[in-house]
Structure 1
C-alpha cells in the first residue's frame, strides 16, 4: 500500500512540461492518450498528408511581444492560433482585435492561468466561462478552442470544454519548444526544425517575461520551413485537413 501511494504521488506531481501531459488527480481513472484521442476529446496533432502545421502561442496577449510575432507571421504569410488568458484580454483588448484582424485564430487559455492539475469543476467552469466572455466582449468573436494551462486535463475539464462548445487542444509532444524558459533563440528554432512533420501543433508563447526569443526564433524557423514546402495554418484549419478519421499519427515522446 505504501508503495502504491508513493507511485500515485509521483504521478500527480510530474511536471507537465516534461513532455507528457498528465491527467488531473481529480480523475477517477487515469486513461492514456489514445483513449481521448480516438474519441476526439483531445487533439495533440492532426494526421494529414498535407505539409501543413499549426503554430500556437500561449499566455498573451502582450503589448510588446504579440505585435512582434504578428509582424514575423505576416512576413511569411503564416497564420497561427493564439490561446489567450482572459485577464490579459481585458487589459489589452486592442491586441486581441489585431490578432483576429490579421486572419489568425484566438482560443481560450483560462482567465487567471491557474494550475488545472488540482482544479475543481466549479473553478474550471468559472475560468473557462469568464475567458469566453472576455474574448466576446473584446472582439465580438466566440472562441471554439480551449487549451488548459500546463496541458492538465481530466474528464471534468473535458466536459466543461464541451459544455462551452470548445475543442480541447494540446500540442505535439515533440514540438514543445519550452520557449517560456528563454533557452536561446537557436535552441528554440532547432527544436522545431529537427522534429517537424505534417500535422504538427507547435507550442510557443507570445508572453514570456523579459524575452523576445520567440519572435527571433520564428525569423529562423519560418523561412526554412517555407523552403521545405510547409504552409502555416490555424488549428481549426489544420483540423479541417485531417485524413481518414480512423488514421492516427504514431505517438512519440
Structure 2
C-alpha cells in the first residue's frame, strides 16, 4: 500500500487542474472566475502642463536630443456637411493605409473627427482597440477654429468647447474605449481665443513640425521627398487618412518607413514624445 503522504502527493499531481494541493480540510479552491482580477485600467496618458492662466498647451515636436524617434500622425478628416458625398460613394476612410501601417508594424496616432467616427464606426472601433494605434480628437465638425483657414467653415468661440466634447462622445459611441487627451485643430489653425476656449478640458493641442504635403497630392515621390527632407529627431509628421483627399498616402508610407528605418529612426506614438517633453527629457 502507498504511504499516506505519497498517496496525497500522487493525488495532487494527478488532479492539480481540479483541486488545490494542501487545501485545509480538503476544501475546494474558489471557482476560477472569482480568482481572476479585473484588468488594470490604462495609465493616464501624458499631457503638457497648461500655460499661463490655464491656457491650453501646444505641442509641436519631441526632444531633439533623445535619439532618432519620429511620430507619424494621420488626420481622419470628414467635415460635418460631407455626408451626402459619402453617401454618393466618396471614400473618406483609407483601409489600405491602415493595413500598410499594420504590415510595417508602425505605431501611429490618428486624429479623428467625430463625424468620421459616426460614418465609419467599425473602423474607428478597430483602431481604438488596436494597441499599435492611439486615437485622438480632431473636433466633431472639422470646422475651423479661426477665420480664413483653408476655406473651412468656422466654429464660433462659444461652440468650440462643445465641438471638442461632441467629438469625444462620437468616439465613445463608435467603440473607441480610450480616446487620448490630445486635440488637433482642423487645418492646424488656432489663435489665443481658441486656446482659451478649450482651457480646462485637459487636452494638449498637437501640431507638427513636418508637413507631408499629402493632402490633394498626386505625386507620391514629391511627398516622400518632402517627408524625408523634413524629418529630424523628435519630429511629428502630419499626413491624412482619407482616400479621396489624399490618394497617395499609402504609397508614401510604404516608401518612407523603410527609408527612415534605414537611417536609424524608430517610430513612436505622439504620447511617447509628449511624455519625454513633459519630463524635460
Same fold (TM over 0.5): yes
Question: Is 1:42 aligned to residue 49 of structure 2?
Answer: no
Question: Is 1:100 aligned to residue 128 of structure 2?
Answer: yes
Deviations 1:6-29 (A, max 9, x none): xxxxxxxxxxxxxxxxxxxxxxxx
Aligned positions, number:
208
Runs of 4+ in 1 over 6 A off after TM superposition: 61-64
What TM-score results when the alignment is normalised by the length of structure 2? 0.67
**What corresponds to 1:27 in structure 2?**
none
What TM-score results when the alignment is normalised by the length of structure 1? 0.74
Report if aligned partners of 1:180, 1:208 keep a CA contact under 8 Å in 2: no
Cα 1:54–1:161 shift into 2, 3 Å: farther
Cα 1:154–1:135 shift into 2, 3 Å: same
**What corresponds to 2:94 in structure 1?**
66
Q: Give the gaps of 5 or more residues in structure 1.
A: 1-34, 248-253
SS in 2 for 1:107: strand
**What corresponds to 2:185 in structure 1?**
148
**What corresponds to 1:165 in structure 2?**
202
Find the structure with the greater CA-based Rg: 2
Report if aligned partners of 1:65, 1:215 keep a CA contact under 8 Å in 2: no
* 1:1-253 paired onto structure 2 within 5 Å: 41-48=57-64, 49-60=66-77, 65-103=93-131, 104-118=133-147, 119-138=155-174, 139-172=176-209, 175-209=210-244, 211-242=246-277, 245=280
Tell me by how many angstroms 1:197 deviates.
0.9
**What corresponds to 1:16 in structure 2?**
none
Q: Give the gaps of 5 or more residues in structure 2.
A: 1-50, 79-89, 148-154
SS in 1 for 2:145: coil
Greater mean deviation of Cα atoms: 236-245 or 217-226? 236-245
